[in-house]
Chains A and B, each alone.
Chain A
């Protein structure tokens, strides 16, 4: 149980376009979902926290208008990178928690974004 999926696993886009990444909890209802960014050989950096039906809470320094997060249901959260630029190229990881998970975050497999 407690499986989180991400789609797509890999995406390449042109500079200036927008890219949407989906994060789904497959076998549980996610009360909270988190979005992280990871640069090569670096740690995970929390971008934002989202709860179903409410606005995401962004970490300091993360542009809200650049990284749009929608948590429309208890099993789906989306991250849209708007007007992507090469510096947005990175590995994006989502995680989810459920009320009975004893504070454990279940991580998705990540999405590799490359902006040309």
Chain B
């Protein structure tokens, strides 16, 4: 079974600085998707960034970028120029395919606090 591990339960960063959230996963699949989701205090899940395993190029979305190391099964999220609105729980997720439906397997999350 696939597993996703986020080893940092909590992190904090000063506004305007850069922070990196770690994520590792375990799978025997060769093709899959990886995601970072943000859950602010409102608890609405918001997709931050997505990476396809067959693409070597790291995904980037404005201030958010990933460092995808397929051989090491590592998928870290870098947030540049942190803003107060980035304060949230961040979940790393792996998408596997079973029975034709696409399931998400989530890590336990990292609580990020951006300090003014």
Contacts and interface: CB of A to CB of B under 8 A. Distances in A.
Chain A, interface SS category: strand
Interface stretch (A11-19, A61-69, A81-89, A99-107): A99-107
B45 A93 contact: yes
Contacts of B101: 32, 49, 51, 57
Contacts of A95: 45, 104
Interface residues of B, number: 20
Interface residues of A, number: 21
Interface stretch (A20-28, A40-48, A72-80): A40-48
A110 B43 contact: yes
Given A51-B101, A57-B99, A42 B108 contact: yes
Given A91-B43, A103-B95, A46 B103 contact: yes
Interface of B: 33, 42-47, 50, 91, 95, 99, 101-109
